[in-house]
Amino acid sequence: MESLKKQKLIVLAQSLEQPRVVKRIIKMSEKYDCIHVYGFLRDIKNVGNHHLLKNQPNIKLNIVQEIEDKKYLKRFLGLCKLLYLVYIVFGFKRKNIYVFGLDLRLLCFFIFRANVTYEISDIMWLYLNKPKRTLFEHLDKNLAKISSRVVFTSFEFYNRYYKEYIDKEKVSIEENKLETYNKVIPLENIPTDKIRIAYVGAFRYTKIIEDLIDVVKSDKSIILNFHGDGYSETVGLIKKTCKENSNIFFHGAFKNPDDLEHIYSKNNLNFVVYQNTLENEQVAMPNKYYESGFFNIPIVCASNTYVGRRVVSNGIGWMIDTDRKSLYNFLINLKIEDLLNKHQQIKKLPKDMFAI
């Protein structure tokens, strides 16, 4: 620890609004004398999470650029600017670098004398079609292989896709547990008047969202609350639906973790049914799992996923298929007593399973 305290660390981050990134940087600031952060802001879901970094005396924050969706040339120029800034400050001296994301890990290939730790929280090439997938898979695995250390947020990332390429001694599993910053506490009670569904985070799976809305529209005894942000088309669909239905509400972006206790206090079911035909979703561990466990809120996840199996094995919720009929059958048959039983089970679990 003492040797690290005398060292500087460079952090390269794709999104300084991502709570996981902010949490990780603050945690590392306890070990290093000085951390130089270079990163990007995005034009959606910007609620000022990066300001937490400014409150740390040994963190020097450098916002390289605010990037817009599908502005690829601007993004490329931003990466060039980042590379320039690193060389201006650190030159060709030996450097310790912690990097989030494949594109920034590739950029590190052009930073000489760098000791690189590479964090993988999503496997983006799993979303690509061949031959792009083959190219980026080969690139990613080789960059991971030559990294000094590789950090995964889900054991299944490593187990299914990387274990043949990376020495186990170089691997760390850092699950995306909730960092409370002493701002939130577990909930002792949940609403019992009716089923209240929370859809919290990024709105990504449009077909599932459409089916969920369709089911809830047909039963006014169910409340559906959307908290978060996403691409304009999906947000537009949600806003339009809210205007037409008295039991569906859109609350917009929120600050993590500051707003989470309030959000979950108004709901009794966390909806985390992601598209389980996508390979990345099959092995990821969403932060909503940890939020449900900490706040004692029952959770429903997609079948055929690692997070779903964890949910069932720990008794904190359910797994269902992602088609409309399965959503309908689950919600129509769900009783308040079922939610209360899960709520009581979750309360018995130690909170260090879900929070730092």
Condensed to tens digits (0 to 9), the pLDDT of residues 189-201 reads 999 999 999 999 9
End-to-end CA distance of the chain: 20
Residue pair 325/255 in contact (Cβ under 8 Å)? The answer is: no
For residue 353, the tally of other CB atoms under 10 A from its CB is 15
Q: Would the pLDDT of 2 be above 60?
A: no
Task: Specify the pTM.
Answer: 0.91
Q: What is the mean pLDDT of residues 217-245?
A: 95
The answer on pLDDT for 240 being more than 80 is yes
Indicate if the pLDDT at residue 142 is higher than 90.
yes
- The dihedral built from the CA positions of residue 18, 20, 26 and 28, taken in this order, carries a sign that is negative
- Can you give the pLDDT at residue 6? 58
How large is the average pLDDT for residues 132-143?
Answer: 97
CA distances from 343 to 207, 264, 307 (A): 29, 12, 18
Arithmetic mean of pLDDT over the chain: 94
Kindly list the distances between the CA atom of residue 1 and the CA atoms of 4, 41, 56, 155, 169, in Å, as whole numbers in the listed order: 5, 31, 19, 26, 19
Nearest-angstrom CA–CA distance, 287 and 293: 10
Q: Which two tokens mark 138?
A: 């080969």
CA 256 to chain centre: 11
- CA-atom Rg of the chain in angstroms: 21
Residue type, 109: F
CATH numbers and ranges of domains, the chain: 2-173 (3.40.50.2000), 196-353 (3.40.50.2000)
32 contacts 2 by C-beta, under 8 angstroms: no
Look at residue 3 and tell me whether its pLDDT is greater than 60. Answer: no
What is the share, in percent, of the chain residues with pLDDT greater than 90? 89
Q: What percent of the chain has pLDDT over 70?
A: 97
pLDDT, tens only, 294-309: 999 999 999 999 999 9
Q: What is the pLDDT of residue 197?
A: 98
Residue 45, pLDDT score = 57
- Alpha-carbon gap, residue 123 to 130, rounded angstroms: 15
**Contact by Cβ (8 Å): 41, 50:** yes
Whether 49 contacts 254, CB under 8 Å: no
Residue 75: its pLDDT value, please? 87
Higher pLDDT, 27 or 231: 27
Q: Say whether pLDDT at 68 is over 80.
A: no
**Cα gap 48→281, rounded to integer Å:** 27
